[in-house]
Amino acid sequence: MYDLQLKLWLVKDGRFLISDGRATLLRKIKDLGSMSKAAKEMGMSYRHAWDVLQRISENAGGDVVTSSRGGREGGVSELTELGEKILTEYESKAESLESQLANDWRKPSLTADGIVTKDRNILLIRRGKGPFKGSYALPGGFVEYGERLEECVKREVKEETGLTCEVVRLLGVRSDPERDPRGHFVTAIYLMRPTGGRLAAGDDAESVKWFSTSDLPPMAFDHGEIVKEFLSERR
């Protein structure tokens, strides 16, 4: 049995800041409030710990730890704002990579879908690609990195239907790992209201059409269940 292990470095402008050992030192200083206690727990001398912190500070362009002396409990050491930022950046990136590694680099895909209504009609697209090519579905798609869910659903609805819409409210979230044959998809469903634009199929949509809520076609994925729940709640 073989296991893959990663060794990570955080760098700034090509200059090495911290890896696991240095991150542990910063974390212990933050938790213990003492450089000497942190060094002792890590089995290193105070002088060595100080030298390590100096090298981090030099490459980071500022102090990462501040210390004060005196008092019955001895000196107090704290991370500076820069030190906190460096530690947080390293720990968050390391946690993300370790999580992906533990799941064989798989993670759920995030999407947003819109229930666009007008009078007693719901807007549906006819899918131009698989899975469920040729079936009707709610307009929606993948969230881009750095994009809010609300902005994603407005963008996707515009790209697929030609209509500009506003978000009325969040209706719910679907996260069943079996809901999409392509893998684990988590979707946020929004109720939306058209505010402009011209109805025209685009992007992955083969066609787009308003359907009466009393005469809806079979739908792809679990979209039929989603619409059914929405209509029952609205009544």
User: Could you report the per-residue pLDDT of 15-57, keeping only the tens digit for each?
Assistant: 999 999 999 999 999 999 999 999 999 999 999 999 999 999 9
pLDDT of residue 130: 84
Whether 146 has a pLDDT exceeding 80, the answer reads yes
- Specify the CATH number of the domain 109-234: 3.90.79.10
Q: Confidence class of residue 86 from pLDDT cuts 50, 70 and 90?
A: very high
Mean per-residue pLDDT for 151-158?
97
3-state secondary structure of 125: strand
Share of the chain above pLDDT 90, in %: 79
Range 75-91 average pLDDT: 93
Instruction: Report the chain's mean pLDDT, rounded to a whole number.
Output: 92
Q: Is the pLDDT of residue 1 over 90?
A: no
Peptide bond between residue 217 and the one before it cis (omega within 30 degrees of 0): no
Residue 71 has what pLDDT?
A: 45
Q: What is the pLDDT of residue 3?
A: 73
pLDDT computed for residue 233 by the predictor: 87
**DSSP code of 203?**
T
Task: Return the CATH number of 10-102, one of 3.40.50.300, 3.50.50.60, 1.10.10.10, 3.30.930.10.
Answer: 1.10.10.10
Q: Kindly list the domain boundaries of the chain, sorted by start residue.
A: 10-102, 109-234
pTM of structure: 0.67
Domains 10-102 and 109-234 alike in fold: no
Q: What is the dihedral of CA 222, 227, 233, 235, to 10 degrees?
A: -150
How far, in Å, CA of 91 to CA of 93, rounded? 6
CA 233 to chain centre: 29
